[in-house]
């Protein structure tokens, strides 16, 4: 019985392609990666055992956290290695084809689109930026320098106990709104300052504290597609913004262009 094909990604065909994957183990660690050329583009694949990677078998394996962790890490590391050496359209974890003919059918439908996308991604890197707000410190700052808040606090001090409770609740809402306004302003201002270095950008999910496990509040999560010759300026701009108190920055990259392939209808 013939093997299935596990697809990692699509690259531009080059004479030296074989060097990209020399002796690289595939996801099952028994077979190496191989390239299947389709004219101007090539598919980076690994043959896998049909009995282990059939549709039902993979569905069961995806319910096993340890298997997913191990194999997803391999998939990501392989894409990271490839993207560091060539322009790559990354495919999602566990993209499988029943045979080469099945893959060729998809290539036939996507060839023009993928050729254009590879040209657009050439010479560019994905960088991710997260910004976290130190909300407790920001609350202290708002209470100390916001004139409206200070005046309302004085007014409340002269009220009866019953009124104080109601108006303190309203004051808390005013402070929360001011903190949110300040967070949004800071994040949007920084984002605007980074746009001159980015060919494209994409929103990522803003995670709550129970997911991040941090005390700070996430207020920006973005991916940027940067020309390699603009990366230093991009990072320098981020560094300059980190001098302000009350914020924590997390900038990571370069990554495979995960967030800039869906826009072209790529299988991910």
Residue 21 has pLDDT above 80, yes or no: no
Q: Give the mean model confidence (pLDDT) for residues 104-121.
A: 93
Q: Find out whether 74 and 37 touch, Cβ atoms under 8 Å.
A: no
φ, ψ at 189 (rounded to 5°): -65, -45
pLDDT tens-digit series, residues 49-85:
988 899 999 999 999 999 999 999 999 999 999 998 8
In the structure encoding, which two tokens stand for residue 262, read together?
């869906």
The proportion of the chain whose per-residue pLDDT surpasses 70, expressed as a percent, equals 84
> Within 10-64, where are the H helices?
17-20, 50-53, 55-61
Task: Read off the pLDDT band of 267 (50, 70, 90).
Answer: very low
pTM over 0.85: no
Task: Read off the pLDDT band of 265 (50, 70, 90).
Answer: very low
Domain spans of the chain, in order of start: 4-122, 125-260
Question: Number of H helices and number of E strands within the chain?
Answer: 10, 9
Q: Find out whether 201 and 225 touch, Cβ atoms under 8 Å.
A: yes
pLDDT score of 179 = 80
pLDDT tens-digit series, residues 201-215:
999 999 988 888 888
d(C-alpha 203, C-alpha 46), whole Å: 32
Residue 161 has pLDDT above 80, yes or no: no
d(C-alpha 106, C-alpha 41), whole Å: 13
Query: What residues contact residue 185 under an 8 Å CB cut-off, 6+ apart?
Result: none
pLDDT score of 236 = 95
């Amino acid at each position: 019985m013939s093997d299935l094909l596990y697809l990692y990604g699509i690259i531009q065909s080059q004479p030296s392609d074989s060097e990209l994957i020399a002796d690289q183990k595939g996801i099952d660690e028994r077979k190496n990666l191989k390239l299947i050329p389709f004219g101007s583009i090539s598919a980076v694949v690994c043959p896998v055992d049909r009995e282990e990677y059939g549709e039902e078998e993979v569905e069961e394996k995806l319910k096993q956290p340890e298997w997913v962790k191990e194999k997803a890490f391999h998939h990501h590391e392989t894409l990271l290695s490839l993207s560091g050496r060539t322009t790559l359209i990354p495919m999602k974890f566990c993209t499988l084809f029943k045979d080469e003919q099945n893959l060729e059918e998809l290539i036939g439908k996507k060839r023009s689109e993928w050729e254009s996308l590879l040209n657009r991604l050439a010479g560019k890197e994905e960088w991710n930026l997260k910004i976290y707000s130190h909300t407790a410190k920001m609350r202290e700052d708002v209470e100390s320098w916001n004139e409206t808040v200070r005046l309302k606090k004085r007014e409340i001090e002269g009220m009866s106990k019953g009124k104080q409770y109601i108006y303190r609740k309203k004051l808390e809402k005013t402070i929360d709104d001011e903190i949110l306004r300040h967070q949004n302003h800071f994040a949007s201002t920084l984002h605007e300052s980074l746009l001159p270095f980015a060919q494209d950008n994409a929103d990522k999910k803003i995670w709550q504290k129970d997911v991040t496990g941090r005390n700070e509040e996430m207020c920006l999560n973005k991916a940027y597609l940067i020309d390699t010759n603009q990366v230093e300026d991009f990072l320098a701009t981020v560094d300059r913004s980190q001098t302000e108190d009350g914020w924590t920055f997390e900038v990571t990259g370069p990554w495979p262009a995960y967030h800039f392939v869906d826009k072209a209808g790529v299988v991910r």
